[in-house]
Amino acid sequence: MNKKPPFTKEKDFVHLMKEVYEGWKEVREYDDRHLYYDRSKWITDGIDEEWWEFPDEYDRDTDTQTLCLLFEQYLRFTNIVKDTKIGLLPKVDGVNEKKRITEKDTEDTGDKIETIDKLSDYLLSR
């Protein structure tokens, strides 16, 4: 007798997509510099470097936010951003991967982002 796979219920999928849609409405307003990073690598690095404990109470929120970001990367860049040994892929015109901003950079005030911009401009001009 063949067993059926444990299929996910369609209503569970639709519920998740509604959650993702609500989060995506915010994410779609991010500029390219805040969106152009390998989200999966960032999460893995965060766990490996112990930036936070894993698992934690926000795992579901983090995963939902990740889905929102991945969808917007795919829609905007026609690919999901991946960090490879040859740099970030896909290459995106007008986005310098050395000047991208990740969530970790935005944990403080906007002054920090302005300082990062000035320092990046200075270093890249040399």
Q: Which domain holds residue 53?
A: 10-125
| 73 touches 28 (CB < 8 A) | no
Residue 16 pLDDT level (bands cut at 50, 70, 90) = very high
Cβ atoms within 10 A of the Cβ of 64, count?
Answer: 17
Distances (CA, A) of 7 to 13, 14, 63: 11, 14, 21
- The answer to whether position 66 is within a domain reads yes
**pLDDT on residue 92:** 87
How many domains does the structure of the chain reveal? 1
Rounded Cα–Cα distance for residues 32 and 16 (Å): 25
- The answer to whether position 1 is within a domain reads no
- The answer to whether position 103 is within a domain reads yes
- The answer to whether position 3 is within a domain reads no
Residue type, 62: T
- The answer to whether position 4 is within a domain reads no
Residue recorded with tokens 């993702």: 20
- The answer to whether position 41 is within a domain reads yes
Average pLDDT score over residue span 75-88: 93
pTM of the full predicted structure? 0.71
